[in-house]
Amino acid sequence: MYKPFFKKHILIAHRGYRAFYPENTILAFEKSLKLFDMFEFDVQFTKDFEPVVFHDEYLHRCTNVKEIFGKNLKINEVSFDEVKKLDNVSWFIKNNPFKVKIPKEVYKMHKNSIPHLDEVLAFIKKNHAYANLEIKAANVSYSIIKEKILDKINKFSLKENIIISSFHHNYLKKMKGFYKALLFEKELADDEYIEQFFPESIHIEKNLATEKNMKKLNKFVVNVYTVNKRKEYFFNLGAKGVFCDY
Name the burial class of residue 47, with classes exposed (0-12), middle (13-18) and buried (19+) by CB atoms within 10 angstroms of its CB: middle
Neighbours of 42 (CB within 10 A): 20
Contact present, 63 and 78 (Cβ < 8 Å): no
Please state the pTM of the whole predicted model: 0.97
Taking only the tens place, the pLDDT of each residue in 60-111 is 999 999 999 999 999 999 999 999 999 999 999 999 999 999 999 999 999 9
In the chain, domain spans: 3-55+114-244
* Separation CA 27–CA 17 (nearest Å): 8
pLDDT of the residue at 138 = 76
| Mean pLDDT, rounded, for 147-173 | 97
Half-sphere exposure of 147 (CA within 13 A, CB side): 8
pLDDT of the residue at 59 = 98
Name the burial class of residue 32, with classes exposed (0-12), middle (13-18) and buried (19+) by CB atoms within 10 angstroms of its CB: buried
Task: Please tell me the CATH code under which domain 3-55+114-244 is placed.
Answer: 3.20.20.190
Of 234, 160, 183, 232, whose CA–CA distance to 5 is shortest?
A: 160
Measured in degrees and rounded to the nearest 5, phi and psi for residue 187 equal -155, 155
Taking only the tens place, the pLDDT of each residue in 32-44 is 999 999 999 999 9
